């Protein structure tokens, strides 16, 4: 199919599918059934992804602003492409926060969906970055801001100025103020000389009108451009649950679900291996699950699980982690969700943990032995700290103890954290017991053991609330994870696998992470009871053991 015909096909598909239409009588003549959507290769289930704020990662040209060429220079830190080395972090995917032109430092108010922010580089730079990442086995997804544009976007400037503009109906307008507030009690209707426009987040972020098929068709072209012409591997969808409002109902509407459900085969037709992951925060598992189970998105971020991980590390109690994982797995098949600790909208996990490196270690262990597709926020692996406002949680990456933390040869766009001389990549690389090397070893173990990536999850209970344990099982291997979340050694504990998951017999053990040899479990009836792998669990320790008959 030629590129022109393919574009026409996409446009007709979107116009027919993505906006609810008035029912029409069945045609008299039969038409061929559409080809089924090609089955995707679900690569993301095996990956560990790393979130990067380009502005803050590494400055290659000395202007104080991180850029795409800077990420290229640091790719070997993330993954050098050689599985036999241990000096890289080992991540296998990157999520880039918005890379489009924007008047804001964060980039979430876009003025051009087809270009690169000139502060970050050029499209040629970006394509070279993709090539270099792919050479190392790293897939790349980009932040796609579907919900809104900048108020400086040419579409909105035209719509605001002229009620007869062809872009007027690309946004949401009212002659009078409808009067209702947003989900957080915020103002959402803003006056102009030509009526009120709707923006759920800020006045400078007017919402797009997805009840207009022209908007859907245009954003389909945007997806096609980045998928087929540029070559990205997927998209993180910002504010996914707010896409289409139904009056004062502004989140998780049926119209939003219908749009995603209809758009799913459209973007899969572009490339069946394209991945989407949705940001749906503030809702329970039963709500977020629908975006995956109804073929709307490929993944959703698991905010409830992220909160449970951080709370467990804070309190030293396993609390409800197992319950949330089991509930999520009940609603979402094959662990098609993404756990994390914190992201660019939240206080950094190290600050939430009182700058306690030991607590950060167990948080990392919980994350990287969890089911799903884990995401790591840049700098999390070295314990960068930061509390809101947002600029403080998006500071420049701390590479060395040298001037400007090795981020730039000039003054960084945002002041550095004062702890950069102690908390940096260079210092921690040479320390075998550092948080960075803890992350490296955990990711290496996860990458080498498929049961930790895609195996079935089984809860292992303990009579001690400070002990977290879980079993990961696939057709080829069994892996036991055991974490002491507390600051005290633990001898009074016993592990019980309550749900049959194993073949009966006495298992051999192979230490994957955590040191010395351990006792073997005896399995009867598919379970084990009162199992103590070690007589004593060291404070804040992680033990990962492969079990085999």
Write out the catalytic residue numbers: 238, 279
Distance CA(45)–CA(275), nearest Å, equals 11
For 214, counting Cβ atoms within 10 Å of its Cβ (0-12 exposed, 13-18 middle, 19+ buried), the class is middle
**Residue 480 CA: distances (Å) to CA of 452, 475, 491, 526, 548:** 9, 15, 18, 15, 11
Distance CA(117)–CA(229), nearest Å, equals 18
Distance CA(511)–CA(543), nearest Å, equals 8
Best CA proximity match to 538, nearest among 374, 320, 307, 365: 365
Q: Which residue has the tokens 């467990």?
A: 312
For 237, the enclosing helix (H) or strand (E) is strand 234-237
Q: Which residue has the tokens 């800020």?
A: 202
Could you give the angle at which helices 3-17 and 254-270 cross, rounded to 10 degrees? 160
Strands 505-506 and 189-192: unpaired
What residues form DSSP beta bridges with 462? 495
Distance CA(308)–CA(470), nearest Å, equals 15
Neighbours of 338 (CB within 10 A): 26
């Amino acid at each position: 199919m030629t590129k022109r015909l393919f574009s026409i096909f996409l446009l007709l598909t979107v116009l027919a599918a993505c906006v609810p239409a008035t029912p029409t009588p069945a045609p008299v003549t039969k038409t061929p059934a559409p080809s089924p959507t090609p089955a995707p290769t679900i690569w993301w289930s095996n990956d560990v992804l790393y979130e990067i704020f380009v502005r803050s990662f590494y400055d290659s040209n000395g202007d104080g602003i991180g850029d795409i060429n800077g990420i290229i220079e640091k790719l070997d830190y993330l993954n050098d492409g050689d599985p036999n080395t241990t000096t890289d972090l080992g991540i296998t995917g990157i999520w880039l926060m918005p890379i489009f032109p924007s008047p804001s430092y964060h980039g979430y108010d876009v003025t051009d969906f087809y270009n690169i922010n000139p502060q970050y580089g050029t499209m040629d730079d970006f394509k070279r970055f993709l090539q270099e990442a792919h050479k190392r086995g790293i897939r790349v997804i980009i932040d796609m801001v579907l919900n809104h544009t900048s108020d400086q976007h040419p579409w909105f400037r035209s719509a605001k100025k002229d009620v007869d503009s062809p872009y007027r109906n690309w946004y949401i307008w009212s002659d009078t103020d409808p009067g209702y507030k947003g989900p957080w009690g915020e103002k959402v209707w803003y006056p102009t000389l030509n009526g009120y426009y709707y923006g759920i987040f800020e006045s400078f972020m007017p919402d797009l009108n997805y009840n207009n098929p022209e908007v859907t068709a245009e954003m389909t072209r945007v997806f096609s451009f980045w998928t087929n012409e540029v070559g990205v591997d997927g998209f993180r969808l910002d504010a996914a649950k707010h896409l289409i409002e139904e009056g004062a109902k502004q989140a998780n509407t049926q119209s939003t679900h219908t749009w995603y459900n209809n758009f799913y085969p459209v973007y899969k037709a572009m490339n069946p291996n394209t991945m989407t992951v949705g940001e749906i925060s503030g809702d329970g598992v039963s709500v977020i699950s629908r975006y995956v189970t109804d073929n709307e998105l490929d993944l959703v971020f698991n905010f409830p699980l992220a909160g449970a991980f951080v709370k467990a590390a804070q309190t030293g109690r396993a609390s409800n982690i197992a319950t949330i994982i089991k509930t999520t797995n009940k609603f979402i098949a094959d662990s098609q969700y993404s756990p994390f600790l914190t992201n660019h909208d939240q206080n950094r996990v190290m600050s939430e943990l009182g700058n306690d490196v030991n607590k950060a270690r167990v948080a990392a262990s919980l994350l990287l032995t969890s089911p799903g597709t884990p995401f790591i926020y840049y700098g999390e692996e070295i314990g960068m700290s930061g509390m809101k406002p947002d600029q403080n949680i998006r500071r420049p990456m701390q590479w060395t103890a040298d001037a400007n933390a090795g981020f730039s040869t000039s003054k960084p766009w945002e002041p550095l954290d004062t702890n950069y001389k102690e908390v940096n990549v260079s210092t921690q690389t040479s320390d075998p017991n550092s948080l960075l090397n803890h992350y490296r070893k955990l990711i290496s173990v996860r990458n080498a053991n498929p049961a930790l990536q895609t195996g079935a999850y089984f809860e292992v209970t303990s009579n001690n609330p400070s002990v977290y344990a879980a079993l990961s099982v696939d057709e080829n291997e069994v892996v036991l994870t055991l974490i002491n979340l507390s600051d005290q050694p633990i001898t009074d504990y016993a592990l019980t696998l309550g749900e049959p998951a194993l073949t009966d017999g006495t298992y051999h053990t192979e230490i994957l992470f955590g040191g010395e040899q351990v006792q073997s479990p005896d399995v009867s009836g598919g379970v084990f009871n009162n199992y103590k792998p070690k007589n004593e669990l060291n404070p804040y320790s992680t033990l990962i053991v492969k079990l085999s008959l």
